[in-house]
Copies of this chain bind each other. A is one copy, B any other.
Amino acid sequence: MHHVPPLAVRFCPPHCSDCRLRQTDAFTSVTPQQLAFIESFRSGVLAVSAGAAVIREYAPNGKLFTLYAGWAFRYKTLSDGRRQILNFVLPGDLVGLQQEFGDSAAHGVEAVTDCALCVFTGDRLWELFRTEPRLGYDITWLSARGESFVDDNLLTTGQRNATERVAMLLMHLYRRLERLGLAEGGSVPFPLNQQHIADALGLSLVHTNKTLRRLAKLGLHDIAHGRLRLPNPHALERLAEYYDQPARCVPLL
């Protein structure tokens, strides 16, 4: 009964012009020249099984990835095993920039579901900025957007209580998936287990469970068969103080 995505979406197409993501209206359009550069910049594709590592913590590999299909997350751990999920990575997201730049200890990236990714080698990044400044600008855009997500999560983890945290996470993910066109019949795919949610919110597994149960009994969410439904999104938004952003095209590398 496990939902197995059709093979077609599990691998990146050989040519970026056939990219399913670009055919949606969630991403900005590019010129043929830019598309050609992106395709030449891409050094390969990668398929990662659910639960496996895309980037190993403390072992940055100097590569950038655009997630094509599936779910993943960025995380950091402490030596005794405590793990913080920094944010969830959905199709179209770019990961690995901090590996290339950042001076802080690196984060890991792990696949939640089977994932398909486009791989870019970091050593050509400077060339990209030099020859295609527009793409460099876009990468900065994506980087700033990534930081915004982490800012939001830090506000959530630092200031909101358990109920508000769960409400925020559900709203945030629902809206992101909706914008990717992944909502169908009032629900979106939801492959996370409660441990993922707990690690993302800085809560214990048990307390996460109790909080989810409480919200479910109030009719604020319904997670079943790997899908999430929000029967009363406005109540959740109020609980979480979630402010919806106007839909907006994002760059895609």
By a beta-carbon cutoff of 8 Å, the part of chain A in contact with chain B is 74, 76, 78-79, 82-84, 86, 97-98, 100-105, 107, 125-126, 129-130, 133-134, 136-137, 139-141, 143-155, 157-160, 201-202, 241, 243, 245, 248, 250
Contact = CB atoms under 8 A, between A and B. Distances in A.
Nearest to A248: B103
> 8 closest Cβ contacts across the A-B interface?
A158-B202, A104-B148, A102-B148, A101-B144, A147-B147, A82-B159, A84-B158, A143-B143
A144 B202 contact: no
Contacts of A102: 144-145, 147-148
B250 A103 contact: yes
A98 B147 contact: yes
A25 to B, nearest CB: 15
A151 B105 CA distance: 10
Question: Main secondary structure on chain A at its contact with chain B?
Answer: helix
A139 B157 CA distance: 28
A141 B126 CA distance: 11
A130 B102 CA distance: 23
A103 B145 contact: yes
A248 B241 CA distance: 40
A98 B142 CA distance: 10
A74 B136 CA distance: 25
A107, A126, A133, A151 interface centre (most CB from chain B within 10 Å): A151
B103 A151 contact: no
Contacts of A129: 129, 133-134, 136-137, 140
Nearest to A164: B78
Given A104-B149, A202-B158, A241 B144 contact: no
A159 B204 CA distance: 10
Contact of A84 (B134, B141, B147, B154): B154
Nearest to A100: B144
A105 B243 contact: yes
B148 A140 contact: no
Contacts of A149: 104
